[in-house]
Amino acid sequence: MRKLLLIFVLAIISFSTLRADEGMWLPSLIKERIQDIRKKGFKLSAEDIYSINKASMKDAIVHFDGGCTGELISDKGLIITNHHCGFGSIQSHSSVEHDYLRDGFWAMKMEEELPNDDLWVKFLVRMEDVTGKVLKTYNPDMTEQERKEIIARNSALIIKEATKGTTYDATIESLYYGNQYFLFVYETFYDVRLVGAPPSSIGKFGGDTDNWMWPRQTGDFSIFRIYADKNNKPAKYSESNVPYKPKRHFSISTKGVKEGDFTMVYGFPGKTQEYLMSKAVSYISDISNPHKIRLRTLRLETQKSHMEKDQAVRIMYASKNASVANSWKKWQGEAGGIKRLGIVEKKRDYERRFNIWAANKPEYGGVISRLDSLYSILEPYSFANDYNNEAIKSNEIITFAGTVLSYLKKESGNIMIRNQETLKGIMEDFYKDYSPSIDKESFISLIGEYRKNIPENFQPDYFKAKISEFGSTEAFADYLFKNSILVSKSAGMSILDNKTDLSSLLRDPAVEMFDAFNEMYIKAIRPEYVRINNEITLLYRSYMKGQMEFSSDKTFYPDANSTLRIAYGKIRGYSPADAVYYKPSSTLEGIIQKDNPLIYDYNIPEKLREVYKNKDFGTWGSNGSVPVCFLADNHTSGGNSGSPVINRKGELIGINFDRVWEGTMSDVAFDPEMCRNISLDIRYVLFIIDRYANANWLIEEMDLK
């Protein structure tokens, strides 16, 4: 145990072969890197970044709704994040009469701020290495099941002690595939209100066309406010709640940025897999991503054709469409980047050298061959799992049928509804944003691909029988969408009035199909998929530990897992192709150059045209235009959306929102010459609030430098 911990201490403090622009570092360990960070230009201390003894930057950062990051920009609980992170909340308040997606929304006083059901943010209170406590009483002679039981038991005790007498919650997360464990303690706030958002023609300018691309001119921001009770503690929404008083908020720099300036990104990156072996990376680039891209292309084409014809449908499917498109385009860049860099070949070469080194080491010898063999066994189950997610669960009516089914129960021989009020809310939310015609058209496309690509032994007997009965996917779709009670809102909601025979719902075509595919997944796919993955994860624990001994001159930062991390580097352009160099900043000029009223993604508001024509830039102009976005070489991932981008003085200079398409393979392998994060220049945010929205009262709350 002591030897294992020593290996990780040495790995954390060794940084001789890692570039400063690569890595996602734990804030509590930043003292080990502060000299390198300061060498790159940072002027503050490690205590300013992370401290449990005084207010620090971590106290100005929130995990926003579980998938993004946000930051405090006033002493009255004002937080800023990306427009795409707040998109669902903006959409929920939108209608044809009040289209906040199209027109934007701006509260002009606190009383006009809009509450949001189920939206939450949480602050990290502290983090702590608890590896020794988690593995207390464990010894290598124990079975893996005994190890899991010890970890679960010890973790529960650690969490109980860490949250005792508080309103905090906590988790214990595994790092380095179970070689290290950290405790994360959080405080969660549940009253988060929408304050302001630009129209989508600004906040989503460029749309799917520009997504993951550079140059970008997207004003990707939205503003919310945290409310608390009178004691500044978390509380559910109430009119008596008051703006939260944070321990710390960011000052905002209006000085501007230039190439070579220091930058730090501080947020909650979602998931990276930097230490995967070659076989896993090959599956991602050669099999999984191409098929998932094809399936999402079909969905996007269907949605787009309907959204272009009807404004109400556009609003209804705006959030769904953006969600589908985001990963669709990312996967394309990721697969291309893996091939361009030859990552699979490089990993194979590394594995050959590792095998030679490990040949006389019983702990690591053979681990590569065992992993390789397991990945071969796993592949058909991974493929079936991919199609279950992208071709079956992506059919809205089928997933909805499963949700409804989960709220039914048997009581005294009768079928009853469990928690009727909750189910009613779920059903109303579903029908609010549901188009049967889009779902049916998408269903035909997705099921057609499923039939063509999934082996019959993974297809449910029910499904094969229905296709045989009706003769085609189209005919089966006609039957299902004509006969399912759940397709129609009026018919579907009728199950709540206690007049419908709920037992007949079990024979509903959509419910039957969900049940058949769910049973196949639970019985034939998931058990093996989970079992093999568990064996792989167990081997990775040894492989990870072995890599850290084999490459002892290299720093191994932990993969992202939605916990708070720091990345740092500098503002920097890049060269995506021969004879091409992208400058690291964009301006309002680029928006005007792309402006086209005939193309939805590039049709900017008339008012923005007028502001530009009159050069009405206020104090936010620079060199005859307004800065919009900039590039840096910080290592980011999904979940970093909305993260603060900080200058050398610890001031806010931008909001991270994307990566360049050529560098999206950074979740698997980081290329310092090509991987760039894209951030919104804070001066463009202030320009939009001031000159476009006339919401200057918000700027008055901020601390401008």
Distance separating alpha carbons of residues 685 and 705, to the nearest angstrom: 15
Instruction: Calculate the dihedral angle through the C-alpha atoms of 624, 625, 627, 629, rounding to the nearest 10 degrees.
Output: -130
Distance separating alpha carbons of residues 200 and 404, to the nearest angstrom: 33
Cis peptide before 576 (omega within 30 of 0): no
**Token pair listed for 98:** 């009040």
Q: Annotated catalytic residue: which of 220, 515, 559, 690?
A: 220
**Token pair listed for 417:** 């509804």
**Token pair listed for 616:** 């009405």
Q: Annotated catalytic residue: which of 641, 643, 666, 679?
A: 641
Distance separating alpha carbons of residues 206 and 661, to the nearest angstrom: 14
**Count of residues for the chain?**
705
Q: Is 84 a catalytic residue?
A: yes
Contact 75, 246 (CB under 8 A): yes
Please choose, from the candidates 442, 433, 435, the residue with its C-alpha nearest in 3D space to the C-alpha of residue 297: 442
**Token pair listed for 508:** 């509903």
Beta carbons within 8 Å of 65's beta carbon, 6+ residues apart: 85, 119, 120, 121
Taking only Cα atoms into account, the Rg of the chain, rounded to an integer number of angstroms, comes to 26
Distance separating alpha carbons of residues 402 and 513, to the nearest angstrom: 9
47 three-state secondary structure: helix
Distance separating alpha carbons of residues 474 and 542, to the nearest angstrom: 50
Cα separations in angstroms, 579 against 210, 662, 675: 22, 16, 18
Between CA 355 and CA 360, with CA 359 as vertex, the angle to 5 degrees is 150
Q: Annotated catalytic residue: which of 63, 83, 84, 306?
A: 84
Q: Is 36 a catalytic residue?
A: no
Sign, CA dihedral 289-294-299-301, equals: positive
Contact 141, 99 (CB under 8 A): no
Please choose, from the candidates 9, 10, 1, the residue with its C-alpha nearest in 3D space to the C-alpha of residue 134: 1
Question: Three-state SS across 387-433?
Answer: HHHHHHCCCHHHHHHHHHHHCEEEECCEEEECCHHHHHHHHHHHHHC
The secondary structure of residue 544, as a DSSP letter, is H
Contact 104, 202 (CB under 8 A): yes
Question: Three-state SS across 305-339?
Answer: HHHCCCHHHHHHHHHHHHHHHHHHHHHHHHHHHHH
Please choose, from the candidates 216, 190, 193, 213, the residue with its C-alpha nearest in 3D space to the C-alpha of residue 203: 216
Distance separating alpha carbons of residues 29 and 49, to the nearest angstrom: 10
Q: Is 220 a catalytic residue?
A: yes
Contact 600, 233 (CB under 8 A): no
Report the catalytic residues. Answer: 84, 220, 641
